[in-house]
């Protein structure tokens, strides 16, 4: 009898200790970035190895047959944490009670398309999605915008969801951050985990400023400033910056497709750091609301800063000295974002 009671207690305890599933939506879920992303989310690489997941796959109606194939593949992976997969083309289904939103889908720039036309199309998309988040999602939802122009799309989504804290919105510059880390690591002949505290300032565009003035490289157990490790200031101020800025275009030229595997990895890194925090003494790059920032960036922007994260709350790293070279680069990318914002806000009010 005692053995039976003990067994029942252990079963009840195991069931009660199992975390409740979280609801995660991915938009543009039939696309190539999502195809590289969904497996990592579903197997626990992002939200934890003991966190069950309900995955909601949102895309436009013509993509629903493709989503059915993605659902079949996720089922066929037989992943223990994946409790349910819901394909949909309806925002009221996609955003209902979600804990995390990864907004990958956006209008891509087509040949001959003016930038303002691209902005107009995306304002419509992210205004709709922001309003749906506002109406259907949990107020604690963490929203990551990936679809380009990511900074301005994120701003529009946030403005369209006034009941969700602005701090819950961020955009992806982690891919640029990872690219910068990798370039420094290759230059120093070390693995990329030996490079920390590179910074991406500003827009996820070719005006972004990859900054290594505060970066450290671990060489044979000793932390060295990146500039001292590389010993090539001209490379850092020239080829390094342009390589990171133009890397997306270089991938498209080579693959005839945009970055997918590396973008998915960056999304995982970004969301995992939101969920579990950054390492002590380290910071990463994220596009966040610029309000109250210590670097003189105009307030009503989503701008990429160095941030540290604790208890799912980010904080811009304060007190980093900025030289004239860096300031000019930071101002240039801010100016582009101001122009984008002003154009987008005009469309938003129409």
Q: What is the DSSP string of 209-234?
A: EEE-TT-EEEETTEEEEHHHHH--HH
* Catalytically annotated residue among 177, 204, 214, 289: 204
Detail the residues annotated as belonging to a binding site.
Answer: 59, 109, 115, 122, 146-148, 179
Q: Residues, the chain, total?
A: 350
Pick the residue with more confidence: 3 or 284? 284
Q: Are 24 and 53 in contact (CB under 8 A)?
A: yes
Domains and CATH numbers, the chain: 22-171 (3.40.50.720), 173-342 (3.90.110.10)
CB atoms within 10 A of CB 149: 25
CA-wise closest residue to 105 among 27, 53, 46: 27
Active site residue 204: yes
Residue range 311-317: mean pLDDT, rounded:
98
Distance CA 156, CA 107 (A): 14
169 pLDDT more than 50: yes
- Residues marked as binding for NAD(+)? 59, 122, 146-148
76 Cβ partners below 8 Å, 6+ apart?
none
Beta bridge pairs of residue 320: none
Per DSSP, 99 falls in state S
Tell me the pLDDT tens digit for each residue of 18-49: 799 999 999 999 999 999 999 999 999 999 99
Q: Which two tokens stand for residue 206?
A: 């070719």
The annotated binding site for substrate is made up of 109, 115, 148, 179
User: Which pLDDT tens digit goes with each residue over 118-140?
Assistant: 889 999 999 999 999 999 999 99
Which residues are registered as beta bridge partners of 315? Answer: 308
């Amino acid at each position: 009898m005692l053995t039976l009671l003990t067994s029942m207690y252990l079963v009840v305890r195991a069931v009660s200790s199992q975390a409740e599933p979280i609801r995660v939506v991915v938009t543009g879920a039939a696309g190539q970035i999502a195809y590289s992303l969904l497996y990592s989310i579903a197997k626990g690489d992002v939200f934890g190895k003991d966190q069950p997941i309900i995955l909601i796959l949102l895309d436009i109606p013509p993509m629903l047959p493709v989503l059915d194939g993605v659902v079949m593949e996720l089922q066929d992976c037989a992943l223990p944490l994946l409790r349910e997969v819901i394909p949909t083309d309806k925002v009221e289904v996609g955003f209902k009670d979600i804990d995390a939103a990864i907004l990958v889908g956006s209008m891509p720039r087509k040949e001959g398309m003016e930038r303002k036309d691209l902005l107009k199309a995306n304002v419509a998309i992210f205004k709709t999605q922001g309003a749906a988040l506002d109406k259907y999602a949990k107020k604690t939802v963490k929203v990551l915008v990936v679809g380009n122009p990511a900074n301005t799309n994120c701003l529009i989504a946030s403005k369209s969801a006034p009941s969700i804290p602005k701090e819950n919105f961020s955009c992806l510059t982690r891919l640029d951050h990872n690219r910068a880390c990798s370039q420094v690591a290759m230059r120093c002949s070390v693995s990329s985990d030996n490079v920390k505290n590179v910074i991406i300032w500003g827009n996820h565009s070719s005006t972004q400023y990859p900054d290594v003035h505060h970066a450290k490289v671990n060489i044979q157990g000793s932390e060295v400033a990146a500039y001292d490790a590389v010993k090539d200031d001209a490379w850092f101020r020239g080829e390094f910056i342009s390589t990171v800025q133009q890397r997306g275009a270089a991938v498209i030229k080579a693959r005839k497709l945009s970055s997918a595997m590396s973008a998915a990895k960056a999304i995982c890194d970004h969301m995992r750091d939101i969920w579990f925090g950054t390492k002590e003494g380290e910071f990463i790059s994220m596009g966040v609301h610029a309000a109250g920032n210590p670097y003189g960036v105009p307030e009503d922007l989503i701008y990429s800063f160095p941030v540290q994260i604790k208890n799912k709350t980010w904080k811009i790293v304060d007190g980093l000295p900025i030289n004239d070279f860096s300031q000019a680069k930071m101002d240039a990318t801010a100016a582009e974002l101001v122009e984008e914002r002003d154009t987008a806000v005009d469309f938003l009010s129409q």
